Amino acid sequence: MRKILFIHGPNLNLLGEREPEIYGHLTLAQLNEQIAAFAQKCQVEPAFFQSNHEGQIIDFMQSHRREALGMVINAGALTHYSYALRDAISAINLPAVEVHLSDIHRREAFRHVSVIREVCLAQISGLGVESYLRGLEVVLGFLGREELQKFLKTAASADDAYRACVKILKRDFPKYNWTGIYLVEGNELVVHNYIGAPTPHTRIPIGQGICGAAVAAEETIIVPDVNADPRYLACSIETKSEIVVPIQGRRIYGEIDIDSHTPGAFHEYDRHWLEGMAKDLAEFLEMNQ
């Protein structure tokens, strides 16, 4: 199973008793339990570490650099001044996300500065435990795109490429309850392959539904609440939100369509890695026409 490091910096061992009005009432053990439960759903093995000492954190990162695939780090106060930690994150060359329980940009001015931000994929703060979960998603989005790019170098066909993309996304993101590819055929979108419940919408006219609207507009559409969007073509009463990303190069070849049973499941980070993977698919198609 893929190993991801979860690192907690100084004073996070006091969670639950340290300024609960800012950091909440979860203890560090309870926080790790929630992260571990989510990581398991993502088929990830979390490795947790907490220290109040800069050197110990750096030693832990370095000692696991060859076996881990990524890192989610809440460096605490070290975030704001530790160039040694910044250099360590850069040196071990693992995809990393900086996270914080509280919103550091709404607190003291010194907390607005992060010296590690530029060597991380993203900075996520102010969401409590969700900061860590979303941080893991960002790491998995990065790794998933890398995996798809590697696969495309030797893929035998477009069909294989589409199937690999869907498989990677469904494996890594439990919130992606229905994950599929639609291809453009004339004036319609035709379902190619998917993982999830059977869909009644195997052919969708371009311009109709959220899928058809994304192709007609040539842009990604994120719908936080499908029941509030008149364009939605009902597939399942369990579907609450949707994202549709065109596979677009010199023309639009199709789209990645994902439904979730969770309201508001999709964020700008989802858009980022899905648009990246759609771009990779389009480039593969154009190189192999």
218 and 99 within one domain: no
- φ, ψ of residue 166 in degrees (nearest 5): -65, -40
Asked if the structure places residue 9 within a domain, the reply is yes
111 and 194 within one domain: no
Strand partners, 178: 259
Active site residue 80: no
Vertex 188, ends 171 and 286: CA angle to 5°?
65
Catalytic residue from among 100, 162, 182, 232 = 100
218 and 186 within one domain: yes
Active site residue 100: yes
- Which one-letter amino acid corresponds to residue 203? R
121 and 224 within one domain: no
CATH code of the domain covering residue 252: 3.30.450.40
178 and 118 within one domain: no
pLDDT truncated to tens, each residue of the chain (289 aa)? 899 999 999 999 988 887 776 667 789 999 999 999 999 999 999 999 999 999 999 999 999 999 999 999 999 999 999 999 999 999 999 999 999 998 888 888 878 889 999 999 999 999 999 999 999 999 999 999 999 999 999 999 999 999 999 999 999 999 999 999 999 999 999 999 999 999 888 899 999 999 999 999 999 999 999 999 888 877 778 999 999 999 999 999 999 999 999 999 999 999 999 999 999 999 999 998 7
CATH code of the domain covering residue 17: 3.40.50.9100
Query: Maximum distance among all alpha carbons in the chain?
Result: 62
Q: What is the C-alpha to C-alpha distance for residues 118 and 73, in angstroms, rounded to an integer?
A: 14
Q: Provide the pLDDT for residue 161.
A: 96
Number of domains in the chain: 2
Domain that holds residue 162: 156-287
Residue 261 CA: distances (Å) to CA of 20, 126, 202, 208, 211: 31, 24, 20, 22, 17
Residues 6+ apart with CB under 8 A from 61: 5, 7, 71, 88, 89, 92, 94
204 and 100 within one domain: no
Catalytic residue from among 23, 176, 194, 232 = 23
